[in-house]
Structure formats: C-alpha cells, structure tokens
Structure 1
Amino acid sequence: MSIQDYPSRLSDPNSRRMGTFSYLPPMTPEQLRRQIEFIVARGWTPAIEHSEPEHANSNYWYMWKLPMFGETDVDAVLAEVDACRADNPNHHVRLIGYDNVRQTQGASMVVHQAPMD
C-alpha cells in the first residue's frame, strides 16, 4: 500500500489543511464532546483560538478570552466554542488542551472551518 499525496498548494486556499484532523470529515457534535472529555479528564486546560482563513497558516491566532483554567464542565467548554463561532463566523476556530505538567499543548484541533471564498 502506498501513501497518497495530498495536493495542497498555497495558490489554492481550498486545498490547505490545518493539522491531522483537518484531513478527516468535520467532527460531529458527539465527537467534539468526546475530544473535550479527553482534554478535561487529563486535567489539561482548554483554550479556544480563532483566525481569519487567510492567516490560519501563521503561528499567531487570536485567543478567545482566557484559557479555561481548572474547567471540568464539558458543556461550559462547548458553550465557549459556540460563542466564539457565533462572534467570529468567518474565522477558523480551534480547541487546545494545555498540559500544565509538561508545559506544552497536549491536544490541538480545528473545530470549525470558516467558509472559503
């Protein structure tokens, strides 16, 4: 079995991908819930970021509020993801789980892709 090349090009904004999960179909609400459960079960800090599609490949994304230190309520995290999407409908939105023990991101995934022109 050979590995398939993905024809992603800077000249074609619709071909660009943002991380491993972006090659998969969008997550269902239940799959997103399970990812958040995974993050909070490990004691990681959920955080939400957003960016314009044309700047999504840069290292800088806008932080949505502060990271949710100590948050264990999955519904509270989902509500913030929804609020970020509602306030920034033309932005990509990603969810991050910060691992405070290892001082790094334990998880990072785009949970909403803005419509591409």
Structure 2
Amino acid sequence: MQTLPKERRYETLSYLPALSDAQIAKQIQYILSQGYIPAIEFNETSEPTDYYWTLWKLPLFGAKSTQEVLNEVQACRSQYSNNYIRVVGFDNIKQCQVLSFIVHKPSRY
C-alpha cells in the first residue's frame, strides 16, 4: 500500500492530479448549471491560513457560457502565472461561497 506524501491539501479536488482544461470546463459548467456566480481569484500561496485571495476583476455575474469563464481564467493565468489561481462559485441566495477549486499552480511546484 502506498501513502500520500505528507503535505497540506485543503482545496476542493486538491488530492487529484491537476485538472485538464476539459475537466475545468466541466466544473465550471456545473457552477453555471447550479445558478452559482463564478469568480476567479489568485494568491501567491495556497496556505489554508490565507483567508483572503485577490479577486480577478469582478465576479462574472452575467456569464452564460463556460467559454466566457475559461477566457477569464486564461487571462488571469497569463498575467499571474507565478500565483495560484482558483475558480469559486458564489450562491446569491445564501450569500456565500459554496465551492472553490484550484485551476493553476505556479511552475515552481
């Protein structure tokens, strides 16, 4: 039996290998299909003690397609390639973030 290396992982899906663009698109489609509002955030670290990530632009209130969100993810990747980038889904009824997952890790890791 093989055990996982000892490291902290706290984000949704963090125990899986990095998601492909197709897998990211499916997760974003889920966010949209649930009526959640997608947003993109970035930060230099992914430490669980860092509660505040920087918001990339405003939440994508009017996003209707997966491609719109993916275009913003790519724009954030190109500008902040040395940062962690995650997609979050906000529930406008509960007024809170209901899910998040990392879509980009810096190449140093």
* TM-score, L = length of structure 2: 0.87
Q: Distance in 2 between matches of 1:26 and 1:88?
A: 18
Q: Distance in 1 between matches of 2:10 and 2:39?
A: 17
Residue 15 of structure 2, aligned match among 6, 23, 28: 23
Deviations 1:46-74 (A, max 9, x none): 00000113xx3211111100000131111
Gaps spanning 5+ residues in structure 1: where? Answer: 9-15
| Deviant stretches of 4+, over 6 Å | none
Q: Is the 8 A contact 2:39 2:56 kept in 1?
A: yes
Q: Distance in 2 between matches of 1:51 and 1:72?
A: 26
Aligned-CA RMSD value: 1.8
* TM-score, L = length of structure 1: 0.82
The structure with the largest helix share of the pair is: 1
Q: Is the 8 A contact 1:94 1:112 kept in 2?
A: yes
Percentage of pairs with the same residue: 40
Q: Distance in 2 between matches of 1:31 and 1:7?
A: 26
Superposition pairs for residues 1-117 of structure 1, below 5 Å?
7-8=6-7, 16-53=8-45, 56-57=46-47, 58-116=50-108
Q: Residue 30 of structure 1: CA displacement?
A: 1.1
Larger of the two Rg values belongs to structure = 1
Q: Is the 8 A contact 1:50 1:91 kept in 2?
A: yes
Gaps spanning 5+ residues in structure 2: where? Answer: none
The aligned length equals: 106
Q: Is the 8 A contact 1:18 1:110 kept in 2?
A: no
